[in-house]
Amino acid sequence: MNSHTFRMPVAALLATGAVALLAAPPAFATGGGAVREGRSSAVVLRAALDVSLLNKAVHIPLKTTLNEVSAPASAEKTALTVTLDGVEQGRPVSVLRADVATSRASADKNRAEAEANLARARVHVPGLPGLSLVEVEKVTSKAVCEAGRKPVATSNVLGSVTALGKKVTLSAGGPTRVEVPGVGLVSLELSGTETTSTTAAAAALRLKVSVNPLDLNVARVEGEIVLAEARCESPAGPAPTPAATSAAKPDVKPQTGTGTGTAVQTAAGSTSGANLAETGGSSKTPYVAGGALLLLVAGAGAMVITRRRRAS
């Protein structure tokens, strides 16, 4: 009697596990990834100056840009002058005047590009109204970042360059220093280009300024000015699709009545399953299903025999 009452739950449990194995629904997981657009920016002039005033013994930080643009959205600017207010006894200072000053930037999921151009330009700083800090005939910079390709950056200084009234010859080997007694010092450097695997940057000319004009209430001007700067960052493709564990063999373990299958395999031969992983199916599924049917039949037979013995 004890063996009869002990076998019936086991048979029922095996039958329940078989039914659960057959009824376990397949699970699907789709992969995907976002595409990030490239980025780019350009500026004709960028100035960061520190101005000391005579009558107040204070330092006034002055920052300004001309034709600064950035993308993803395409942008373009062509302003020809930029001024600073409140340093030369309250009068505006024309920092830059040019015949041509353009900047462009564009970016999308395939390409990012930026360009800055400056022609026949004169740069001034506070305290030197009658003397140009620098005059250039033409400077250009360009940066191109294309998906899947190495970024490219170029910069050029064409024609003559004059600093504090003196014509200078620029060298790629280092900065060119121009000093004028009683006025100050300007260091001009061909900034050149810089690239990485995903970015590019170019600036045609970088000026380090240190002048002491002692005029128009300006005691000293120090800082940096950059002409024709362009930058970009390459677009990023979609994130890798999570790989299905197709190499792993299905691991069929004895069921414990929870009704969950453990076989995992990517559907083979599917024409539309590039980003699809399937759980619950494999090439051995018919054998597993057949074994489950046998378990179901055996469990049902055990129950019938048990009932007949009870009846007798």
Terminal C-alpha separation, the chain? 13
pTM: 0.63
State CA 190 to chain mean position distance. Answer: 27
Phi, psi of 213 (to 5 degrees): -70, -30
Each residue's pLDDT expressed in tens, for the chain with a length of 312 residues: 443 333 444 344 434 444 443 344 433 333 445 668 899 999 999 999 998 887 666 777 888 899 999 998 788 999 888 887 767 777 778 899 999 999 999 999 999 999 999 999 999 988 887 889 999 999 999 999 999 999 999 999 999 999 999 999 888 778 899 988 888 899 999 878 999 999 999 999 999 999 988 777 788 899 999 999 999 999 986 544 454 444 444 444 444 443 333 333 333 333 333 333 333 444 555 554 555 555 555 555 555 555 555 555
* Token pair recorded at residue 139: 């400077």
Report yes or no: 139 and 205 within 8 Å, Cβ to Cβ.
yes
* Token pair recorded at residue 165: 């009234």
Question: 144 - beta bridge partners?
Answer: 113, 152
- Collapsed DSSP state (helix, strand, coil) of residue 201: strand
The C-alpha atoms of residue 148 and residue 17 are separated, in whole angstroms, by 52
The C-alpha atoms of residue 23 and residue 283 are separated, in whole angstroms, by 17
The C-alpha atoms of residue 170 and residue 132 are separated, in whole angstroms, by 17
